[in-house]
Structure 1
Amino acid sequence: MLISCQNLSKKYGNKLALNQVSLSLQAGAPIALVGPNGAGKTTLFSLLCGYILPSSGTLSILGHAPGSKALFGQVAALPQDAQLDPSLSIISQLSLFAQLQGYNAKQAKQESLRVLGLVDLVHVADQKPQSLSHGMSKRVSIAQALIGSPKIVLLDEPTAGLDPANAKAIRELVQQQSGHTTFIISSHNLDELEKLCDQVLYLDQGELGQSVSIQDELNDDYLTLSMQHCDAVLFDQVVSAIGGIKSVENKQSNEYVIHYDQTVAKQLEVTLFSLFEQHNWQYKALIKGRTLEDKLFS
């Protein structure tokens, strides 16, 4: 068991930031934590790191209390607003953090170069943070979180404000490291989380609202279809008339969620493509299942 909490609550004065949250998480694929601002995501991260104590309830990580000596080097976190020291070189800062984890000076430098290699930034090791772009600084911060190969890494908005190239590099890094590190990622970018994560936890007003498995969704009887152009009224009519179709919902402009019976699963896509050709319609994407946005908010 990676993380287990039962009836976890946290109060700040009269404000209840977390309310009776219970969950169990297994090690493995990245886990997403989503919810509106003020939902309690940062509070949950702070509790997991041992920065603060719960008001009530129980919480264990790898079988130990957060902040305990047994978890030293096993849990790392990257806050959204984390900043590098402008007066020190990148290698000096990372080496310092490595030494705080028990490495000697030589080992600390080697470990720092290793994690910089993971984010493809060994060439900036001797530079100071001011010379780096925002995306490069974020990647260095993620490298810092990977020092010592922790078993759990908490990332708060890891790609916020990044250009597409740097965001892609961070997603690829998370995927590469997921074989031995479980990432818990807080983000408002549902499209990105859908690419990275399997399990999605939804917090709202301090309460755990939903827990969705994207992998399980692949077994559900839905298709999400994005059209380049089509006659919306006619599309609904002709697709609804296909045998085995339970419903067709126009969720937003030119995006449709089709619920179907498993008996027609093998032929449904062929039938849809035939209709597109017949009516001269063009599609942009055909996705098995529903989007994360639709699952959470429909």
Structure 2
Amino acid sequence: MSLIKCHQLSRRYGSKLALDNIELDLAAGRPIALVGPNGAGKTTLFSLLLGYIHPSAGSIEILGMLPGDKELRNQIGALPQDAQLDPDFSLLQQLTLFAELRGMSPKAAKREAERVLSLVQLSDAQQYKPSALSHGMSKRVAIAQAFIGSPKLILLDEPTAGIDPANARIIREIISQQANDTTFVVSSHNLDELERLCDRVVYLEQGQLKQQVSLGEVNSISHYYTLQLQQADDARVQQAIASLEGVQKVNIASQHTFVIEYLPSATALDIALLNLCKQHGWHYRLLLNGRSLENTLFATS
């Protein structure tokens, strides 16, 4: 059974078509990245999956059920992008209430609130009110509520946006640690972060599904290196790399960053690239076996 299935899914806001005939069939497993520019339809898709709004056309199924079905109540959790906490109640009180709203008894709800606060490393702060929290800690509390009931699917909208590196790292670790039991769909503009967390990528643009890729599959069937230098004459570097045996194509992905496509027979190309850098005095910052998520999505021929 599919985890998420969308068939000819469209959503209009007046004359604006926010989602246009989306076809998706996603299975449970490793975290899934939802990527696209502002206005691409990512938040609209999340809202549809959660049953907050309804399709203008087409259909959605989650675990074979319609969004909003009462049977999904403890199967799906979410972090809205601008989630807010009530300033008048402690963290434990708020999360206990959320657990009761999911159908738990008061005692079970309190235990569940304590469990999810421990999950996000905030057990010591359970009696705090939101005003005592940093922005990063508040985001972790909001993520904690998404874990209530141990759902099979959690939607995270910009989980690390605007927070400090320490809290962002904690959130990434939480997602990685829980990924064996829960499938995450993570919407973010931080491609480096998504590349560390996710294997599958869904790319939306202007309401349309432009790409679906698996980074593992792309890099296992294709032969690429990504080389990033500190400083260089990019045109000269491109020409020098292209002259190496086994190199088929060299693209300048961005300033001082090169995506190199090579023949499968060029098994020692990594050594040749490092020797080339040494020969010319080029200081490299990164040599990646494969392509980054950014280069996979936006590679040019």
Displacement of 1:254:
1.3
Q: For 1:89-168, what aligned pairs fall within 5 Å after superposition?
A: 89-168=90-169
1:28 paired to 2:29: yes
The alignment partner of 1:217 has SS state of helix
CA distance in 1, matches of 2:76, 2:243: 53
Q: With structure 2 as the length reference, what TM-score do the two structures score?
A: 0.96
Displacement of 1:233:
4.0
The alignment partner of 1:7 has SS state of strand
Displacement of 1:234:
3.7
- Aligned match of 1:74: 75
- Aligned match of 1:251: 253
1:226 paired to 2:250: no
- Aligned match of 1:207: 208
The alignment partner of 1:218 has SS state of helix
CA distance in 2, matches of 1:39, 1:279: 43
The worse-fitting range, judged by mean Cα deviation, of 286-295 and 162-171 is 286-295
Displacement of 1:107:
1.3
CA distance in 2, matches of 1:20, 1:121: 42
> Does the CA-based 8 Å contact 2:228-2:284 persist in structure 1?
yes
The worse-fitting range, judged by mean Cα deviation, of 281-290 and 138-147 is 281-290
Displacement of 1:231:
4.3
> Does the CA-based 8 Å contact 2:234-2:255 persist in structure 1?
no
Displacement of 1:169:
0.7
CA distance in 2, matches of 1:232, 1:21: 39
- Aligned match of 1:10: 11
CA distance in 2, matches of 1:183, 1:103: 23
1:53 paired to 2:93: no
The worse-fitting range, judged by mean Cα deviation, of 248-257 and 129-138 is 248-257
The alignment partner of 2:268 has SS state of helix
The alignment partner of 1:180 has SS state of coil
The alignment partner of 1:262 has SS state of coil
CA distance in 1, matches of 2:88, 2:158: 25
The alignment partner of 1:58 has SS state of strand
The alignment partner of 1:272 has SS state of helix
Displacement of 1:294:
1.9
Identity across the alignment (%):
55
- Aligned match of 2:196: 195
Q: Extract unaligned runs of 5+ from structure 1.
A: none
Q: Extract unaligned runs of 5+ from structure 2.
A: none
Displacement of 1:213:
1.0
The alignment partner of 1:229 has SS state of coil
CA distance in 1, matches of 2:199, 2:238: 31
The alignment partner of 2:98 has SS state of helix
CA distance in 2, matches of 1:160, 1:233: 35
CA distance in 1, matches of 2:144, 2:201: 24
CA distance in 1, matches of 2:251, 2:201: 23
The worse-fitting range, judged by mean Cα deviation, of 112-121 and 247-256 is 247-256
CA distance in 1, matches of 2:274, 2:295: 24
**Runs of 4 or more off by more than 4 Å in structure 1?**
none
CA distance in 1, matches of 2:65, 2:287: 44
1:237 paired to 2:239: yes
Displacement of 1:190:
1.0
The alignment partner of 1:36 has SS state of coil
The alignment partner of 2:295 has SS state of helix
- Aligned match of 1:277: 278
The root-mean-square deviation of aligned C-alpha atoms, in Å, is 1.2
> Does the CA-based 8 Å contact 2:4-2:61 persist in structure 1?
yes
Deviations 1:92-135 (A, max 9, x none): 00000111112211211111111111111000000100000000
The alignment partner of 1:175 has SS state of helix
